[in-house]
Amino acid sequence: MKGVAAIVVALAMAACDFLYGVNRRAALSRLPQVDCVRETLETTPGIERVDYQAWVGSRPITWTGLQQADQVHTFLYRGEGVQGALQLVVGYEGDVELSDTLLDVNRKPPQELIDGTRPVMRLVEERLEQRCGIEGLVRDVRESCLGVACTEP
């Protein structure tokens, strides 16, 4: 029986995916103008290309039933030594969350990419606050570094 338990544990651990990289998040009071976000990203130094996609996300089930689906706006951006994904998610209750990530599954992004992207992420946040009227964004952003080194600027 111990052999079966060891196999089950090994299979369960093999099925686990680990995220590595940088995740910066903030709750927003409202959804900013999507065109303003895109233009801000496109004109930020260090960013050479921006791809935008919008879709409908999950439909949460609550005590009152199936709720309206999340609205998801994703901006993938790249430049020389820079790569990230900025997402704006609007939940069924109208709550808005911004996340800016450089994440990889089961492998660490190169440290040079992390070191090149994090300052651009901070610059994007400053510019979004100024240009798109996202009050308190710089103050409210919380950063998580998952299995990688995030040194102070």
What percentage of the chain reaches a pLDDT higher than 70? Answer: 82
The average pLDDT across 47-55 equals 96
The model's pTM: 0.83
> How many Å apart are CA 149 and CA 123, to the nearest integer?
19
> How many Å apart are CA 93 and CA 140, to the nearest integer?
20
Amino acid at 146: L
87 vs 12 pLDDT, higher one? 87
Amino acid at 23: N
Quote the tokens at residue 43: 């004109």
In terms of Cβ atoms closer than 10 Å to its own Cβ (0-12, 13-18, 19+), residue 40 is: buried
The average pLDDT across 16-43 equals 96
> How many Å apart are CA 14 and CA 143, to the nearest integer?
28
Name which CATH class applies to 18-146. Answer: alpha beta
* pLDDT over 80 (residue 32): yes
| pLDDT value, residue 59 | 62
Residue with tokens 């102070």: 152
Confidence tier at 11 by pLDDT (50, 70, 90): very low
* pLDDT over 80 (residue 44): yes
Domain ranges for the chain: 18-146
Beta carbons of 122 and 22 less than 8 angstroms apart: no
60 vs 13 pLDDT, higher one? 60
| pLDDT value, residue 6 | 38
* pLDDT over 70 (residue 35): yes
* pLDDT over 60 (residue 101): yes
